[in-house]
Amino acid sequence: MNFRSCAREYERHHEIAAASLAYKCMEVAYMRVVYSKHYSINRDQNELQSTLQMALQGESPSSSASDVDNLNNQAAMDKFTLLRGAGTHVACNQVISARHRTNFVHLLDFTQDVNYAMEASRKCQSAFAAANMIMEEARNGECITSMRRVIDLSFHDVDELVGLVCTAMKAISCAHLGGARD
């Protein structure tokens, strides 16, 4: 079972505190994926930018400054700009899509992983805020403290995360904040 389905299952059973921890685990997992892909993504991005710059510089001679000077009115200038822009996009699309499809796929996958990490972070914070209100009403300071340690942890130390999640889950269980399964 992955972290997302685990978090959703906790939410379904109204175990918001545990859902928050599951979302934190999901956030950490995706951030570690993003972190490990970062170097190769920079390479892909630089290669795509270089290709784009070459495609833009390789524009047809009709885009020279003297051609622009020969345009006498604003309507002609607007038409020229529109046509030049369309040509640039077509040329760039042909050059980039033909030679760098895998670079785009890598960038899109990376972007999706970043989005998943940010979504998990947002859901973690939201679930924690809801659980925090419940724990404050029940005066469960130990739960709040143990969960806060998990929430504030960086994605770099997975071993510490696992230990803190176990501690927080025990505190949640002892405080009877488990929801429908208690």
Distance between CA atoms of 6 and 176, rounded to whole angstroms?
A: 19
| Full-model pTM | 0.71
pLDDT at 45: 85
Distance between CA atoms of 123 and 21, rounded to whole angstroms?
A: 10
pLDDT at 91: 53
Residue 84 tokens, joined: 């030049």
CA 174 to chain centre: 34
Helix (H, G, I), strand (E, B) or coil at 151: helix
Q: What share of the chain is helix, strand, coil (3-state, %, to 5)?
A: 85, 0, 15
Q: Domain range spanning residue 94?
A: 3-181
In degrees and rounded to multiples of 5, residue 100 shows phi and psi of: -130, 35
Contact 102, 45 (CB under 8 A): no
Distance between CA atoms of 142 and 135, rounded to whole angstroms?
A: 9
pLDDT at 121: 96
pLDDT by residue for the chain (182 residues), tens digit each? 588 899 999 999 999 999 999 999 999 999 999 999 988 888 888 888 887 777 667 654 444 444 444 434 444 444 444 444 555 555 555 555 667 778 888 888 999 999 999 999 999 999 999 999 988 888 888 899 999 999 999 999 999 999 999 999 999 998 876 654 54
Domain count along the chain: 1
Spatial CA neighbour of 88 closest among 115, 62, 117: 62
